[in-house]
Chains A and B, each alone.
Chain A
Amino acid sequence: QKEVEQDPGPLSVPEGAIVSLNCTYSNSAFQYFMWYRQYSRKGPELLMYTYSSGNKEDGRFTAQVDKSSKYISLFIRDSQPSDSATYLCAMTQETSGSRLTFGEGTQLTVNP
């Protein structure tokens, strides 16, 4: 069983839709959670970073962490065609920075 599970999609939505992306994990030691966006043939770009349970909002993006359920989510409001990319969840145990464990990524297409 993988430490981090993420539905690979693909997910296709119309422009303006609310998108929900999710990951589950099995290692209760994970404390720091990140979402990266990756365009085709590019490196991952950090979108959101959250610590422990709770919500964090940044513009059209909201990240949620539920440690009791070992479940994290990323919501994208008013989705745009430029949001079309692969979204990767990542997590780590240590505050000082250590290896990130990634999900396999969800491929999102926002249709105009």
Chain B
Amino acid sequence: DTGVSQNPRHKITKRGQNVTFRCDPISEHNRLYWYRQTLGQGPEFLTYFQNEAQLEKSRLLSDRFSAERPKGSFSTLEIQRTEQGDSAMYLCASSIGQPEAFFGQGTRLTVV
């Protein structure tokens, strides 16, 4: 499968715990995006990388959220001190410098 891969697919965590998600983009795609989607809503932009550089962050990305893309390959999104409001689907997408982006299957986070 050469699509965008996200792990884990599901994560249940207790409030206050830290979680980390991983995204492996399509090979050779230089741009990688993170979005968050809550039930009944469209995806909302969080941040994006061009190669290893984080070029834009949404104001939705509070200081509890951090994303990295070491060496411009896979990316991780970490949420510290999770809150119930963080429960959502976290989507990763990649592109190769064209407007359309290709999404992974997402990581569904439930904070209890």
Q: Which of A60-68, A76-84, A94-102 contacts B (4 or more CB under 8 A)?
A: A94-102
Cα A45 to Cα B100 in complex, Å, equals: 11
Shortest Cβ distance from A91 into chain B, in angstroms?
9
Q: Which of B1-52 contact A (CB under 8 A)?
A: 4, 6, 31, 33, 35, 40-45, 48
Q: Is the CB of A101 within 8 A of B45?
A: yes
Q: Which of B62-70, B74-82, B103-111 contacts A (4 or more CB under 8 A)?
A: B103-111
5 pairs of residues in contact across A and B, judged by CB atoms under 8 Å: A32-B99, A43-B4, A44-B91, A98-B99, A105-B42
Q: Is the CB of B42 within 8 A of A103?
A: yes
A22 within 8 A of B: no
Residues of A within 8 A of B (CB): 4, 6, 8, 32, 34, 36, 41-46, 49, 51, 88, 90, 92, 94-105
B85 within 8 A of A: no
Q: Is the CB of A42 within 8 A of B106?
A: yes
Count chain A CB atoms within 10 A of each CB in B43, B95, B104 and give the residue with the most: B43
Residues of B within 8 A of A (CB): 4, 6, 31, 33, 35, 40-45, 48, 56, 58, 91, 93, 95-106, 108
Cα A35 to Cα B79 in complex, Å, equals: 30
Count chain A CB atoms within 10 A of each CB in B4, B42, B100 and give the residue with the most: B42
Q: Is the CB of A99 within 8 A of B48?
A: yes
Q: Is the CB of B103 within 8 A of A44?
A: yes
Report the nearest A residue to B45, measured CB to CB: A99
Q: Is the CB of A49 within 8 A of B42?
A: no
Q: Is the CB of B44 within 8 A of A46?
A: no
Known contacts A44-B91, A94-B99; decide if A100 and B45 are in contact (CB<8 Å).
Answer: yes
